[in-house]
Amino acid sequence: LPGLELRTTVSGGKETESLEVITVGEAGCAQVRVLHWTAGRPAELTGDQTRYSYDNLTGSSGLELDGDGNIISMEEYYPYGGTAVLTARSQTGADYKTVRYSGKERDATGLYYYGYRYYQPWAGRWLGADPAGTADGLNLFRMVRNNPVTLIDSNGLLSTGQEARKLVGEAFVHPLHMPVFERISLEENLSMSVREAGIYTISALGEGAAAKGHNILEKTIKPGSLKAIYSDNAESILGQAKRSGFVGRVGQWDASGVRGIYAHNRLGGEDLAYPVSLENTFANELVNAWIKFKIITPYTGDYDMHDIIKFSHGKGHVPMAESNEERGVKDLINKGIAKVDPSRPFEYTAMNVIRHGPQVNFVPYMWEHEHDKVVKDNGYLGVVARPGPFPVAMVHQGEWTVFDNSKELFNFYKSTNTPLPEHWSQDFVDRGKGMVATPRHAELLDKRRNMH
């Protein structure tokens, strides 16, 4: 059962203690734990013991209080997790403090258990090699890249903390908007994730570009997309695009390259493509004047939400596609950003940074709301139906973590007591031409095709 630990001590073949530890409250790494002995309760204790633990900025348990608010123990740590100072009201109080550095349990061997591997605080190194191999460097045993002051590892695989937050601000969410996500995650008990937007989209959003919806499917103008069309001339074209202010904006493309940019016409309330040239920047003077005087606002990408998880009573769930709960989260984000970013009033849809539901709900949304298209296409577009592409940045209880693969993401679902959606909990069936379906949907689609 979640939040219940059973501890048994055996000496000489005889059980000397039987202890039940129940976590009745949790916020971040701060916990309320009740210790209940069915056998072998220490003599100085007269009944069950309630312990309130308070964490520090790195998630380590520093202060413990009893049910009357009296101090049980206080502990301070060296950067790599060794105990610098531990004071306790009694030896018994110290002995039953198990949750310590980084909010993890230290067992009788002195090792900390992180889920994927054990950690040795006296050495500042993991006991086992990194299960992800060399993904985080050639040293498979180092702790948080030898930087425990600004980085935290939640499970033996991931780095979170200030460095993760810096990465998010560079490539996932504009720094001005990040506190909105963090505040909502804390106040509404939510976890939210977004896919990587890229530095050019983040820069364009910071410059006041509109955020495209699903009605515009073209790519943004950036080095990768230019290289694919212009080949050896891409660097020169990129320079022209920068001088025209079009980098990070959504282009209108044909086989020869960029022929226009997509923008929202404020007067007409329309999304249109406006002709531009990356070879002859003088031809862009009229479009640039319209942009300058805010007659049109060029589009860039939006924040592609990947997950929304709502928590209640110690369990998480994914809101249903197009439900009031899902729309409410999108509105919270857009309204929150409107308050800190005056260029993005909530009522002006083109300026909302969240334009659609999370990718986790793509399959149920299509099955429920665009069923005819699923039947016509013989399934779902695989690259959207499956999780990813990665990396994905998740904010949980005000803290950011970057997941590099589906294994890390699914472990987060498990660690937060959130059931995986049905379509992600099993392998998709390949339907050909990049289309997939869940086993259940594949069977229903085949039956329908056979009937017709």
Residue 41, sorted as left (phi over 0), alpha (psi -120 to 50) or beta, turns out to be: beta
The pLDDT averaged over each successive group of 10 residues in the chain (452 residues) is: 85 93 77 92 90 85 92 95 94 90 90 92 94 78 84 71 84 97 97 97 97 93 94 92 94 95 95 94 92 96 98 94 98 98 96 98 97 96 96 93 89 90 95 96 93 76
Residues 358 and 404 reside in one and the same domain: yes
Rounded to 10 deg, the angle between the 178-187 and 162-171 helix axes is 120
What count of other Cβ atoms lies within 10 Å of the Cβ of residue 111? 17
**pLDDT at residue number 135:** 65
CATH number at residue 375: 3.30.70
Nearest-CA neighbor of 93 among 73, 74, 113?
73
Whether residue 92 sits in one domain with residue 137: no
Its domain, for residue 38, covers 4-104
Q: Provide the pLDDT for residue 296.
A: 97
Verify that 340 and 391 share a domain, yes or no: yes
Domains held by the chain: number: 4
Question: What global pTM score does this model have?
Answer: 0.71
Residues 261, 233: one domain?
A: yes
Element (H, E) at 230: helix 223-230
Residues 230 and 330 in one domain: no
DSSP 195: E
**Which residues fall within 8 angstroms of residue 332, CB to CB, at 6 or more apart?**
184, 188
pLDDT at 157: 66
Structure tokens at 80: 């790599």
Are 208 and 286 in a shared domain? Answer: yes
Do 311 and 422 share a domain, yes or no? yes
Report pLDDT for 1: 67
- pLDDT value for 159: 65
Among residues 300, 327, 347, which one ends one of the domains?
300
Of 86, 104, 122, the domain-final residue: 104
- The pLDDT value recorded for residue 331 is 98
Whether 375 and 366 have beta carbons less than 8 Å apart is answered as: no
Same domain, residue pair 431 and 320: yes
Same domain, 47 and 113: no
- Phi and psi, residue 362, nearest 5°: -60, -50
Residues 147, 134, single domain; the answer is yes
Q: Is 334 helix (H, G, I), strand (E, B) or coil?
A: helix
Residue at a domain's end among 281, 300, 319: 300
